[in-house]
Amino acid sequence: MSKFGIQERRITRRRFLGAGAATVAGLAVAGSLVHRPRSLPEARAAAPRTPVAERLVPSICQMCSTHCGILIHVAQGQITRISGNPDDPISRGRLCARGQAGLQVVTDPDRVRQPLKRDGSGRLRPISWDQAFQEIGQKLQEIRAKDGPQALVWLTHPEVLASWEQRFMNAYGSPNWTSHAPTCFSSRNVGWVATVGAVPSGDYANTRYYVSFGRGINDGISNPQVQGLMTAHRNGAHLVALDPRLSDFAAVADEWLPVRPGTDLAVALAMIHVLIAEHLYSPDAVAQSVGFDQLAQAVQPYTPEWAAERSGIDAATIARIARGLAAAAPAAFVDPGWHGPQGGMYWNGVALTRATACLNALLGNLGKKGGLKLPGPSPLPDEKSLPLLQPAPQPPKLPRFDGAGGPEWPLAKGMGRAHVLPEVIESGKPYPVRAVIVYHTNPVRAYPHGARVIEAFRRLDLVVVIDHQMSDTAWTTADYVLPESTYLERLGPVQVSGTKLVLPQPAIRPLYDTLGEDEIIRRLAEATGLGGYFSYTLDQYNRAMLAPLGLQPADLAEREVTLPLPPSPPQPLALKTPSGKIELASSAMEKAGGPAVPVWEPPLVEPDGKTNFRLITGHVPMHTHTSTENLAYLHALMPENQLWIHPSRARALGIREGDLVEVRSEVGRERLRAHVTEGIVPEAVWMAHGFGCISPAQRLAYGKGASDAALAPIRSAPYSGACATAETLVTVRKVV
Amino acid sequence: MARYGMLIDLTMCAQCSACTVACETLYRLPPGESGVHLRSFETGRFPAVRRVTLPVQCMQCQDPPCVKVCPTGATYQDPETGTVQMDYQRCVGCRYCMTACPYGARQFDEAQGTVAKCIFCTGRVKQGLQPACVETCIGHARIFGDLDDPGSEVSRAIAERHALPLRPDLGTRPSVYYVF
Ligand code: SF4
Ligand code: SF4
Ligand code: SF4
């Protein structure tokens, strides 16, 4: 027992099967009472379940960033299945489609199997790891000597070993480590941090009234949140989807409000207006906040009628939903959002987040059951304090290539503005960038204006892509492709998952000549003359992280380890805002040159309703970004995306269901099939993100559907610097 | 004796397809040949439009037309569980059952030359496990159990939630119920 009184539980066959079943399994081993399957699928299913043949390895799913607890089923050295770990507080034994299809990440016939280098003729050819590290290390040293360390940029997503990547960059001397925040959630984070000092999450399972401003919780799935919200729905919670499209979430919600894209802010402001005008807000929450009077004055003109004119949602509905939220408060919330209108796709994303944050605050739902909760402290030690990691390289004091955290983008801070990289490479301003290391992410289809990304990257002296598949970015721009072992083949850094500690551990040995990212970083550091900063392995790192808790990696290899996590701090005491209170009027926003309280800001572009459309995009439940379309099971579920278009507009353009159409923007054109549906506002067209693969090495995904990223110009929304991809106008025509 | 049955509560179904893939990975089926498929229907005009998505699988009819037409007895009803099963040794791949099934619940398995369908994971159930689709359902929309036992969770939920089978008028007496 450790000093925290950690409870340990073994995942035994007994637990896994349930008490009654253990007897049956036991008898089967003894040879009597064997259930003889009569059908083939039954036989196939029963075979790997004999206790002798099958091993269950607990780990975490890495098919998206939710990190659900999984059990990897291994029989005769092969992964036969991945199921949810019933002991895991995140997955609770259930996995989404992507999580289960994860085994095909290993067996995908198109995996990168060895290190590759582009030769003079433009082909990627196999080389040894030694040669790859030696050449890349030398090149990185040359670049630093000639152009300075800031000439190297590291782009990453997901951020599993982020701290190792940052350490590498610190050691090299470059401030330019950049995650995928600006192409996803930057605006949301800026707005929430300005208001309450952190980004809260919802208590989905216990809520009574839930409103989403453009978040399709069933579309871009976070497993535990869906589990919670669907359970709440059964228990009578009222679900409202404000979305220009009848998303998968809107389809199951009690109400779908087809808002004109880019005008969610008007609806949010009017709801605040109703709460204040009708005294429906929580007086306690107001007492714990600053700027209430200022907010009240600002929203005076924003009546429901005013919002109805802009948003297309009628005034009575807006008022009714505001009252519904108030009546159910504090077990009610507006989803803090993720991507979409609060994430940064629109020009007014920060304003919208600020408005929904204030709306939530007025409901008094912070820290309440069924409301919103702020993240608590991690039980793991701060790695900077670990003796093993000394000496630690200091973060360089140079300005970032994208200006994030500088005078122009003070609120963007470390989230970066990765999408402006092509502009920086082209102009050499603020300074020349010569090399990028791309971990997993796929800028060619993840960042706006893919063609410009390709062109810019081709001008660099060095492009290194670390991935297990041949992404578009790897195929079109990489000088070196370094194949990574998949999450089922490699160790990962120890993590907190809900109230558990988990060890992402390998279930099988790597199938091909691949390495884990930890090993790649270590050897890259060595070859670049920075080996002194990485004189430990990932296993030693995990040991050091666990030691203060009185645990070892072996304790987590077989067992579930529950942590008595401190309950999230009593709220909203001492919030991490300048005033320590809820900032309905934000001093940080004011300092950044913005309005202290949320006010109406129109979206940047307006479709004319006749010749053009606003292009909106989003996620689907069976795919994650651009990383899963080549996996056979998920591909079969959704092989390509379609262009959703309203029948009235389709008719005028002579477009019918299934027709091939061309979508054209100021920066690109793409082709895909049309889906004519009543489930979208007439002024917009929608397509799922993540399709339109241009890497022929991904044989299933190649050429299927269209890339939304190819159509969006590079634009940075105010305050957050997020890329405003939904501020894109397109024309559509039938391809004859 | 039991009569296995299932409830799928569409007010909780997240439309995520986890059930489809759970079936495929468990039985190592070729991609796209799952026993469970999601089918969507759109009704109404903007803005009063609705989309209903149904996870569809073998309804485990008590009066199954597929059994009646099978010339070899490969499709049969298991008296112990009330489920409709396949004996692959006997299936000659004539596909009569596919034509007879009004729910389109059967697929031809090209690799095996036989017809395949959802078998309610009988092997797992007999081991004390849930069917794979039920185990993984992230909406908690699926409940499985014995319809003959009025006290079972599934029987109680069917009664309380006023669940109905699809197309009861066809007279096949399905064992899969839905909450709409
Ligand atoms: S939500 Fe799905 S893909 Fe994401 S971690 Fe959980 S199971 Fe994996
Ligand atoms: S749903 Fe079709 S396959 Fe299943 S029992 Fe009924 S008729 Fe037979
Ligand atoms: S797993 Fe459950 S929630 Fe997901 S589609 Fe199937 S029935 Fe619906």
Residue A377 is predicted with a pLDDT of: 78
* Mean local confidence (pLDDT), A214-243: 96
- Torsions phi, psi for A276 (to 5 deg): -75, -45
* Mean local confidence (pLDDT), A247-269: 97
Q: Give alpha helix (H) positions in A119-263.
A: 129-147, 162-172, 186-196, 223-234, 248-252
CA A92, CA B113: separation in Å to the nearest integer?
38
Q: Per residue in A277-315, pLDDT tens?
A: 999 999 999 999 999 999 999 999 999 999 999 999 999
Best mean pLDDT range from A14-28, A568-582, B45-59, B100-114: B45-59
**Residue scoring higher pLDDT (A448 or A34):** A448
Q: Per residue in A207-222, pLDDT tens?
A: 999 999 999 999 999 9
Q: Which atom of ligand 3 lies at the shortest distance from residue A230's CA?
A: 3
Give B59-81 as a DSSP string.
---SS-HHHHH-SSS-EEEETTT
Residue A33 is predicted with a pLDDT of: 25
Q: Residue written as tokens 């839930």?
A: A210
Q: What is the mean pLDDT of chain B?
A: 94
**Distance of alpha carbon A508 from the chain centroid:** 27
Measure B124 CA to nearest chain A CA, in Å.
7
**Residue scoring higher pLDDT (A122 or A6):** A122
Mutate which: B127, B144, B160, B162, vs A, most A CBs within 10 A? B127
CB A321 within 8 A of CB A256: no
The answer on pLDDT for B121 being more than 70 is yes
Contact A646 B46 (CB under 8 A): yes
The answer on pLDDT for A624 being more than 70 is yes
Identify all chain A residues contacting B49, using CB atoms and an 8 Å cutoff. 246, 256, 677-679
Which pLDDT band, with edges at 50, 70 and 90, does A564 fall under?
low
Nearest by CB: B138 against A18, A45, A223: A223
CA A514, CA A621: separation in Å to the nearest integer?
29
Query: In this predicted complex, what is the ipTM?
Result: 0.96
Q: Which of A61, A160, A338, A486 to mutate to test the pocket of ligand 1 (most atoms within 8 A of CB)?
A: A61
Residue A457 is predicted with a pLDDT of: 98
Q: Per residue in A135-178, pLDDT tens?
A: 999 999 999 999 999 999 999 998 889 999 999 999 999 999 99
Which pLDDT band, with edges at 50, 70 and 90, does A30 fall under?
very low
* Mean local confidence (pLDDT), A642-653: 98
- Torsions phi, psi for A628 (to 5 deg): -125, -5
Residue B122 is predicted with a pLDDT of: 93
CB A343 within 8 A of CB A215: no
Measured in Å, residue B163 CA sits from the centre of ligand 2 at 19
The answer on pLDDT for A14 being more than 90 is no
CB A486 within 8 A of CB A508: no
**Six token digits for residue A278:** 């009708």
The answer on pLDDT for A325 being more than 50 is yes
Measured in Å, residue A625 CA sits from the centre of ligand 2 at 37
Q: Poorest-confidence range of A318-327, A712-721, B109-118?
A: B109-118
- Torsions phi, psi for A485 (to 5 deg): -70, 150
Contact B14 A248 (CB under 8 A): yes
Residues listed for chain B: 180
Helix (H, G, I), strand (E, B) or coil at A583: strand
| Sequence-separated (6 or more) residues with CB below 8 Å from residue A609 | A682, A683
Between the alpha carbon of residue A696 and those of residues A119, A127, A474, A489, A701, the distances in Å are 18, 21, 11, 25, 8
Sheet holding A462-467, edge to edge: A124-126, A116-118, A480-483, A462-467, A435-439, A152-156, A177-178
Nearest Cα residue to atom 8 of ligand 3: B13
Share of chain A above pLDDT 90, in %: 82
The answer on pLDDT for A12 being more than 50 is no
Residue A54 is predicted with a pLDDT of: 82
Closest residue in chain B to residue A620, using alpha carbons only: B16
Identify all chain A residues contacting B55, using CB atoms and an 8 Å cutoff. none
CB A221 within 8 A of CB B138: yes
**Six token digits for residue A38:** 């009569």
The answer on pLDDT for A24 being more than 50 is no
Contact B129 A17 (CB under 8 A): yes
Q: Residue written as tokens 């009063």?
A: B48
**Protein residues whose CB sits closer than 6 Å to any atom of ligand 1:** A 61, 63-64, 66-68, 95-96, 98-99, 221-223
Residue A499 is predicted with a pLDDT of: 77
What global pTM score does this model have?
A: 0.92
**Six token digits for residue A597:** 């309280």
Q: Residue written as tokens 């041949």?
A: A470
The four Cα atoms A247, A194, A310, A220 give a dihedral, to 10 degrees, of: -10
Task: Identify the bridge partners of residue A154 per DSSP, sorted by sequence position.
Answer: A177, A437
